[in-house]
Structure 1
Amino acid sequence: MNVLKISTPYITLGQLLKEAGVIDTGGMAKWYLSEYEVLVNDESEDRRGKKLRVGDVVRFSDGTSIEIAQTEE
């Protein structure tokens, strides 16, 4: 499982897709979510604005997953 560390209270699903390199631009998020299944905490999610917080786990149709973690300060 991959880990994405954030320093803010949340990150949107669209931002996560871009940070993880799944999509090249933020504008591709809506298309990607309509074409591929993405699970957030084992529930299907298609909203690019979905707020992801520390502890959330995002799983992709290819089997990879990303856990949201807090950066250490």
Structure 2
Amino acid sequence: MKIVEITKEPVELYKILKFEGIVSSGGEAKAVIDDGQVLVNGEIEKRKRKKIMSGDVIKFMDDEFKVLLK
């Protein structure tokens, strides 16, 4: 599991996918979320602007990321 450090919370889900390089663009981030390919804390998340907090776990494809406040 990889660690994603954020400096403030909450952060919108699509922004984490974009800025961490998990996907190549914000548009792609929104598309994979809309397609149900992203899980947050084990649940399929379809809200692009879902507020992510420290301690949340994001899963996309075979990668898992734990979000921690820096």
TM class by shorter-chain length?
0.7 to 0.9
Cα distance in structure 1, aligned partners of 2:3 and 2:39: 16
Residue aligning to 1:19: 19
The SS at the match of 1:8 is: coil
* Aligned pairs, number: 70
Cα distance in structure 1, aligned partners of 2:28 and 2:12: 14
Which amino acid is 1:29 matched to?
A
Cα distance in structure 2, aligned partners of 1:14 and 1:35: 13
Runs of 4+ in 1 over 6 A off after TM superposition: none
* Unmatched 5+ stretches in structure 1: none
RMSD: 1.4
* Unmatched 5+ stretches in structure 2: none
Please report how far the alpha carbon of residue 32 of structure 1 lies from its aligned counterpart in structure 2 after TM superposition: 1.8
Please report how far the alpha carbon of residue 29 of structure 1 lies from its aligned counterpart in structure 2 after TM superposition: 2.2
Please report how far the alpha carbon of residue 36 of structure 1 lies from its aligned counterpart in structure 2 after TM superposition: 5.1
Identical counterparts, % of pairs: 33
Residue aligning to 1:32: 32
Which amino acid is 1:26 matched to?
G
Please report how far the alpha carbon of residue 41 of structure 1 lies from its aligned counterpart in structure 2 after TM superposition: 0.5
Cα distance in structure 2, aligned partners of 1:28 and 1:58: 16
Cα distance in structure 1, aligned partners of 2:66 and 2:37: 17
Question: Which protein shows a greater Rg?
Answer: 1
